Amino acid sequence: MKCIKRFKKRFTAAALFLATALSMTGCGASSIALPYKATMQKPMAQMRTAQSFASNLCVAAGEVDEVGVTLDDLSCAGLFDVNESKTLYAKGVFDRIAPASLTKVMTAYVAMKYGNLNQVITATANVNISESGAQLIGIKKGDKMTLSQALHILLIYSANDVALMIAENIAGSVNEFVTMMNNEALMLGATSSHFENPHGLHAQDHYMTVYDMYLVFNAALQYQEFVEIIRMPAYTTTYTTENGMEKEIEVNNTNLFLRDAELLPDSVVMAGGKTGTTTAAGHCLIVSVKNAEGKPFIAVVMRAKDHDTLYDEMTQMLSKI
């Protein structure tokens, strides 16, 4: 596929910039000087500079706590000041752990980058997931909907069968789509991630880190469709079944902050997010929020031991902004 060829051309440059980014702490440097030689005639002040890979990213070199947060030993978490490109809190942000349905942020990112929101996608027999407890909307072979509808269901309700439907229609097969996910992760600097599927159900070599999750989520926020979807408390739509009949579905957001089932700290506004839960991954949540001054932040909690711990820890971090 053409998109796969483009990955190979761009990877070397991305890896070079990543090495620069990881050598820094705190904020990403705004620029790096191009190599200087003694034989150059131009004064140093007139030399050109190149934009660094991490110029607009928060960079964490290890454990960070600038806000005073105490989380459970199992939890991994990060709090990132988007405008200041600063890591305010980092705990276990480079631990490779199962991401559960936070995986679907990367699935959505790849789909938005290489797909057309208005294209009609069709389910195959591969959408029949039998794993116990898997979140499904029950689509069947031959069912049709637009990519935009599928992304809404994917991100709001976290439907695993829809993740497979998207993957097959964007890349031709789930395996090819997963290859795209892994290549896109490298180009975003998420070098400690590896995907085995587009939904996040448990697989042995399927993992991410908190920091990589921040990188992927931050990239997805550049798409307006993503921003609009992840802040919706509920979604209703109608898709076409194999026999041509219309079927209406209504789904609620799995992010309980958006449904007022969990309370945010005063003056914090929820701009949206994505949840994930499996036995292996524990309870996970990534959110985009704004403080009283309207400044944006990204917060991540992964591997929380239970539901209450997840929302308590996220609320604790958000109270510090």
By annotation, the residues acting in catalysis are: 101, 104, 158
What percent helix, strand, coil does the chain show, rounded to 5? Answer: 35, 25, 45
Angstrom distance (rounded) from CA 59 to CA 183: 21
How far, in Å, CA of 32 to CA of 289, rounded? 31
E strands present in 216-295? 234-240, 246-252, 269-278, 282-290
Scanning the structure block, which residue is given the tokens 């957001």?
253
Q: Which residue has the tokens 């509808």?
A: 149
At 226, the amino acid letter reads F
**Sign of the Cα pseudo-torsion (252, 238, 165, 220, in order):** negative
